[in-house]
């Protein structure tokens, strides 16, 4: 099929062999004598997006073409739209080297029309994902934040504000299940707009761009800042958790803040992070994506950290509160999982600084701003790798679960007998579950990210919607397990037995499955049986 680019054409679809549009008579020429438009993808206020084939290259690869399209003839509006369009091209050319941002392939003017050609990203948007599969779990939203925030930080490091982050502009790429951020038509490039401002964070733009509900107050008031994108990511999280658009929520009559907290079921710690992301006041909002990432890394342990520190202070005599003198008996308040977490975060920060060197002043300011870091490294919590690992038995775990406890993160649960246990929405993140018996256990919507499940028995277990990113499942028995809609990105499946397992709509690559054992009864992510 060849698509007519005449904005006023009522029936733009034409057979591939036609030279003129059968509806309007417009010439059906190839753009730049190489791009043949075959399908319309979307229409917006300033343009239209099409699917095209690049017939100038071997194999005629698919690409995306954006055409500047206006519904009015006002010259001022045209200049504004053209400015946005050219800015998008320049920005994509600058930041398109990131693997999760579409690459700019071409940019040209033809017959007084402006065209931008970019990489085609194959996959559903997050909006389409939610409409098809329903709302995300808390673990799913945390995974989303861990994926999207590094992209946002990269964009901000290029001195660019996206200004239109929303589920419809985030695509889950089919090839590797990674998120890709699209539609940079609303970007604000900070580089050349500092003349009237003493700070990059107060630069005034000429016009407001964004999507109602996802754009914060300062952006609507023509004063977007980097934290404006943080707000949009926060609103996206609420959409993912509820499957409700911002217009479906009530707003506080005095502050204008979205009243979302009664509509979601998340931990208090994650709710605290989301609340700060969605602050109407820029001053009280997170100022960077890195700040949010730091908070997300710490939040699962926040309550435990606080209680552990409080217990340590109470259990030690006054003379010893500056630190433990006898590490073989660290006190009743000592929690090895907190020590492990603290050490892990500190080591990650050191590696980050080594890989991204900064001046001593920058590092000092960064450490000063992270108040939690000083708590973790304080002498009230000894950071040592030689302390005993906490153990918990099957009876205690099940009893705690029945009494409402859901967070068992970082625990050593190896070789426990949890057969047929109902552990719906349990948090086993980072747990040691080596050879643990979870035969026919219910782990629906549970967090098993980074857990060590090597040689565990998960035969006929319910792992639907479970989060298993970076989990070690080497040699695990998953025969007949329900892994529908499970998130298995980067999980180690070497030698895992997936015979008869249901992987419908699971996020897992063919490379991962190739390392596992499957048979003709295994239902693959596309819903079809394996072929022997």
**Residues designated as active site:** 164
What is the dihedral sign for C-alpha 26, 28, 34, 35?
positive
State the Cα–Cα distance between residues 235 and 280, nearest whole angstrom: 12
E strands along 350-397, which residues?
A: none
Q: 3-class SS at 189? A: strand
| Residue the block writes with tokens 């994509």 | 92
**237, two tokens:** 């999280």
Give the number of other CB atoms < 10 A from CB of residue 351.
Answer: 10
Find out whether 496 and 461 touch, Cβ atoms under 8 Å. Answer: no
Find out whether 229 and 158 touch, Cβ atoms under 8 Å. Answer: no
Q: In degrees rounded to 5, what are phi and psi of residue 333?
A: -80, -5
Find out whether 170 and 143 touch, Cβ atoms under 8 Å. Answer: no
Find out whether 312 and 331 touch, Cβ atoms under 8 Å. Answer: yes
In terms of phi and psi (left: phi > 0; alpha: psi -120 to 50; beta: otherwise), the region of 131 is: alpha
The residues facing 108 across adjacent strands are 115
Q: In degrees rounded to 5, what are phi and psi of residue 376?
A: -65, -40
Closest CA to 443 of 432, 275, 460, 280: 460
Find out whether 155 and 162 touch, Cβ atoms under 8 Å. Answer: yes
State the Cα–Cα distance between residues 12 and 109, nearest whole angstrom: 21
How many Cα atoms sit within 13 Å of 341 on the Cβ side? Answer: 27
The residues facing 2 across adjacent strands are 14
How many Cα atoms sit within 13 Å of 199 on the Cβ side? Answer: 6
State the Cα–Cα distance between residues 516 and 502, nearest whole angstrom: 14
| Residue the block writes with tokens 């302390």 | 387
In terms of phi and psi (left: phi > 0; alpha: psi -120 to 50; beta: otherwise), the region of 111 is: left
Find out whether 418 and 441 touch, Cβ atoms under 8 Å. Answer: yes
Q: What is the CA radius of gyration of the chain?
A: 26
Give the number of other CB atoms < 10 A from CB of residue 117.
Answer: 22
State the Cα–Cα distance between residues 8 and 69, nearest whole angstrom: 11
Find out whether 440 and 458 touch, Cβ atoms under 8 Å. Answer: no
């Amino acid at each position: 099929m060849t698509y007519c680019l005449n904005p006023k054409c009522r029936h733009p679809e034409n057979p591939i062999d036609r030279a003129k549009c059968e509806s309007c008579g417009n010439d059906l020429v190839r753009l730049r004598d190489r791009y043949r438009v075959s399908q319309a993808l979307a229409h917006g206020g300033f343009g239209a997006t099409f699917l095209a084939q690049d017939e100038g290259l071997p194999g005629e690869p698919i690409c995306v073409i954006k055409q500047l399209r206006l519904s009015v003839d006002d010259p001022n509006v045209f200049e504004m739209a053209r400015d946005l369009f050219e800015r998008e091209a320049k920005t994509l050319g600058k930041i398109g080297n990131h693997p999760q941002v579409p690459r700019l392939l071409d940019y040209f003017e033809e017959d007084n029309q402006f065209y931008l050609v970019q990489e085609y990203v194959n996959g559903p948007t997050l909006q389409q994902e939610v409409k098809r599969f329903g709302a995300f779990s808390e673990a799913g939203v945390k995974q989303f934040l861990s994926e999207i925030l590094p992209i946002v930080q990269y964009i901000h490091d290029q001195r660019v504000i996206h200004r239109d982050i929303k589920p419809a502009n985030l695509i889950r790429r089919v090839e590797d299940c990674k998120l890709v951020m699209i539609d940079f038509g609303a970007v604000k490039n900070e580089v050349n707009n500092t003349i009237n401002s003493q700070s990059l964070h107060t630069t005034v733009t000429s016009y407001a761009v964004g999507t109602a509900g996802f754009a914060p107050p300062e952006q609507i008031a023509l004063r977007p800042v980097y934290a404006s994108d943080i707000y949009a990511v926060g609103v996206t999280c609420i959409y993912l958790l509820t499957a409700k658009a911002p217009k479906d929520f009530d707003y506080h009559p005095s502050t204008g803040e979205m009243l979302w907290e009664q509509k979601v079921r998340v931990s208090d710690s994650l709710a605290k992070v989301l609340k700060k992301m969605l602050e109407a006041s820029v001053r009280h909002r997170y100022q960077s994506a890195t700040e949010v990432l730091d908070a997300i890394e710490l939040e699962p342990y926040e309550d435990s950290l606080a209680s552990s520190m409080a217990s340590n202070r109470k259990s030690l005599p006054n003379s010893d509160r500056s630190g433990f003198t006898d590490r073989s008996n660290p006190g009743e308040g000592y929690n090895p999982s907190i020590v492990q977490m603290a050490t892990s975060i500190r080591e990650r920060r050191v590696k980050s600084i080594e890989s991204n060197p900064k001046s001593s002043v920058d590092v000092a300011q960064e450490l000063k701003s992270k108040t939690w870091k000083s708590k973790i490294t304080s002498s009230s919590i000894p950071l040592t790798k030689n302390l005993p690992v906490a153990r918990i038995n099957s009876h205690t775990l099940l009893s705690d679960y029945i009494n409402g406890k859901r967070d068992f993160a970082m625990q050593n649960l190896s070789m426990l007998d949890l057969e047929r246990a109902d552990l719906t929405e349990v948090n086993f993140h980072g747990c040691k579950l080596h050879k643990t018996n979870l035969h026919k256990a219910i782990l629906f919507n549970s967090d098993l990210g980074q857990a060590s499940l090597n040689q565990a028995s998960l035969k006929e277990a319910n792992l639907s919607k479970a989060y298993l990113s970076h989990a070690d499942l080497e040699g695990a028995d998953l025969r007949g397990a329900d892994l529908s809609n499970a998130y298995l990105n980067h999980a180690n499946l070497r030698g895992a037995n997936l015979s008869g397992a249901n992987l419908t709509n699971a996020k897992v690559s063919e490379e991962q499955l190739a390392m596992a054992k499957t048979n003709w009864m295994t239902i693959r992510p596309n819903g079809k049986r394996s072929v022997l």
